Structure 1
Amino acid sequence: MGSATREALAAAREVLDGQNVDASTGEQLLQAGRVLGGSAQLRSALADPSAGAAEKRALVAAVFAGFGATARAVLDSVASTRWSTPEELLGGVEELGLRAIAASADDGLERELFTVASAVASDPTLELAIGSKLSGVDQKVGLVDRLLTGKAQPQTIAIVRHLVQQPRGRSLRESLRYASTVVADQGGRLVATVTSATPVAPAQLDRLEQSLTARYGRHVRLNQVIDPRVLGGLRVQVGNDVIDGSIAAKLNDLRLQLAG
């Protein structure tokens, strides 16, 4: 992420945090992301550093005239600041949409996103159906609705619907992990994925959660993944940080040492 994008995103987040946000605001921002994703010309126009802020705000007003005042205020901020690239502007609008939805949901949203990601990972047929380029977008959205309606809160469904409509080169699992991280950050939390060969005892998970919270200075919420390939021990990932104490990793290290 370029420095201009970081500053622009921070400015837009300030605008978002200063508004009365409901779920419709987030859905409109995600919709704006899909509109931008479908128009390279619009992305380029809004990210053009040579264009004036007033000119770009007028473009936002014309394209997104039907949006609510809160979503428009955030998009005006996006249009008024400089972004490193058109693609980073697109990613910024998506992140702002996710944050707006998170602000309107209860704190179980990231858990539900993780549950959906786990369901996709455990069912190759489902993953293929959602990720296949042969299936139409409407079919994929319909599948999401059938799977989640009545089982997940509307904000979860809105996020998953968006991700299958605009994958941006990511698998659904990758997109869901990213969304879960953004949602947690909006709530002042971090997400740690704990991978083990067998379920970890609750007391051990509690101790690990407390340790990670102390280490990072923010509340860390654990998501547990069972993967027999790790053989034993734990692999813990928090953002880009990986603490790999699994037996599989130790055996791999040993093989590398013997080969050297």
Structure 2
Amino acid sequence: MGSATTHALAATSAALDAASGVDLDVATQLFTAARTLADSVQLRSALADGAAAPSARTAVINAVFAKEFAPSAVSLLNAAVEQRWSSDADLVAGIEELAVRAAVVADPSTDVEGELFWFSRIVADNPELELALGSRLGDASAKGTLVESLVDGKVSAATSLIISSIVRQPGERRVRAILTQALDIAARQRGRTVATVTTAHDLGASQIDRLRSALSARYRTDVSINVVIDAAVVGGLRVAIGDELIDASVSTRLADLRQRLAG
């Protein structure tokens, strides 16, 4: 990610925090805008053209979207295209991130991160589903409809919107990767960091609370815990948080011991 995109993401996030009237309709329209740009080389090139004046770029947004979109959605899109992006692909990804954040803002009482994690595990455990959602040959709207049918009644409207929208435009990304990315975006919007804990046995509520407190103290931020049960770790824990892996599993210690004995 280039420095221009880093700055642009911060600016669009700030614009969302300052916006009013952000609901799921606005989030839906932002996802629609991201898909529209992804499907049009000419449009996204014009909107990511750093040589063009910001007013020219916002004029394009108004011409294309203002008649159909809510004022809040148009305002957020204008805030995005006023920024300089490292590439037109980064602009599309930035608007998609803005849409994820808007869905989280629109539904503050729901554990969107937990629901996204739940669905990511469904995909991980079902290779056929992952293939169907990840295939570049599949119809985009059909993928969205499939997801909606799978999660109907099981997740919130915000989470359903996020999942059904991002699977329609995976690009070169794997489905589990885009779900993980959306989960991280949702957590950051709420000022949290996500930790994925892999253990051989389910953890009790008190164990999770102690682990959350320890990780929150270590990283100086609220931490959301997602648990993966994997008998292969034998015992102990493996914790992935951000780019760091804390591996205190028995399987790793046994592997290290075998390596030393062989050595």
| TM band (smaller chain) | over 0.9
Aligned 1:7-26 pairs, distance under 5 A: 7-20=7-20, 21-26=22-27
Which residue of the other structure, out of 77, 80, 84, is the alignment partner of 2:79?
77
**Are residue 137 (structure 1) and residue 140 (structure 2) matched?**
yes
In percent, how many aligned pairs have the same letter?
Answer: 44
Superposed CA offset, 1:59-116 (max 9, x none):
1111212211111111111111211111111111111111111001123111111111
Q: Unpaired segments of 5 or more residues in structure 2?
A: none
What is the CA–CA distance in structure 1 between the aligned matches of 2:262 and 2:8, rounded to whole Å? 48
> What letter corresponds to residue 101 of structure 1 in structure 2?
A
Aligned to 2:39: 38
Are the aligned partners of 2:140 and 2:169 in contact in 1 as well (CA < 8 Å)?
A: no
What is the CA–CA distance in structure 2 between the aligned matches of 1:28 and 1:68, rounded to whole Å? 8
Superposed CA offset, 1:39-61 (max 9, x none):
22222211111111111111111
Superposed CA offset, 1:27-49 (max 9, x none):
11111111111122222211111
What is the CA–CA distance in structure 2 between the aligned matches of 1:244 and 1:16, rounded to whole Å? 37
Deviation at 1:259, TM superposition (A): 6.5
Which consecutive segments of 4 or more residues in structure 1 shift more than 6 A? Answer: none
Structure 2 counterpart SS, 1:245: strand
Structure 2 counterpart SS, 1:155: helix
Aligned to 1:209: 212
Aligned to 1:113: 116
What is the CA–CA distance in structure 1 between the aligned matches of 2:4 and 2:135, rounded to whole Å? 35
Which residue of the other structure, out of 125, 129, 134, is the alignment partner of 1:126?
129
TM-score when normalising by structure 1: 0.93
Range moving further from structure 2, 34-43 or 89-98: 34-43
TM-score when normalising by structure 2: 0.92
Q: Unpaired segments of 5 or more residues in structure 1?
A: none
What is the CA–CA distance in structure 1 between the aligned matches of 2:10 and 2:252, rounded to whole Å? 38
What is the CA–CA distance in structure 1 between the aligned matches of 2:258 and 2:69, rounded to whole Å? 58
Are the aligned partners of 2:110 and 2:156 in contact in 1 as well (CA < 8 Å)?
A: no
Aligned to 1:103: 105
CA 1:47/1:134 → structure 2, altered by over 3 Å: closer, same or farther?
Answer: closer
What is the CA–CA distance in structure 1 between the aligned matches of 2:139 and 2:234, rounded to whole Å? 40
Aligned to 1:6: 6
